Amino acid sequence: MAILEEIKDDLKGAMRAGEKDKVGALRLVLSELQKAAKEGSDDELAVLRRERKRRLEAARAYREAGRDDLASGEEAEGELISGYLPSELSDEDLQAIVEQAVLDSGAESAKDMGKVMKQAMAAVDGRADGSRVSGLVRASLSG
């Protein structure tokens, strides 16, 4: 089942159950997915990743401003969106992908980080945050 259809079904269930917060979050995500489809983008996962990242960044900003009530709402929406994404790579799997990318690209120093990141991010395919990948690439190239 496509992610769009799964979200529509979950939205109907949340509406029936009277879960207002979940309904609001699912409507926003559904709207973004439909907008992307209308614009010609078929990558539903990219839309979900972007929306999750927005929620987590907003939560961080709210926490820094001392608004824990709003931050927890944003984090809950981020977790809801995460449920539709493939599971994150473990540290061991991610390290193996980075090591393979370093070998394949022939990288020797930090100057080659761009080449390694390009290959590693393609292999990761959204199953890990770019900052995690970047940290491992940097560590691998420096030591």
**Could you read off the pLDDT of 25-48 as tens digits, one per residue?**
999 999 999 999 899 877 888 889
Domain spans of the chain, in order of start:
3-82, 91-142
Task: Please count the other Cβ atoms lying within 10 Å of the Cβ belonging to residue 84.
Answer: 19
* Cβ proximity of 46 and 4 under 8 Å: no
CA atoms within 13 A on the CB side of 82: 15
Helix (H) or strand (E) holding 45: helix 44-64
* Cβ proximity of 12 and 26 under 8 Å: no
Q: Which amino acid is at 54?
A: R
91-142 belongs to which CATH class?
A: mainly alpha
Q: Which amino acid is at 63?
A: R
The mean pLDDT value of the chain amounts to 89
pLDDT band at 1 (very low <50, low <70, confident <90, very high): low
How do residues 46-74 score in pLDDT, each as one tens digit?
Answer: 889 899 999 999 999 999 999 999 999 99
**pLDDT given at position 126:** 76
pLDDT band at 125 (very low <50, low <70, confident <90, very high): confident
Nearest of 80, 87, 83 to residue 26 by alpha carbon:
80
3-82 belongs to which CATH class?
A: mainly alpha
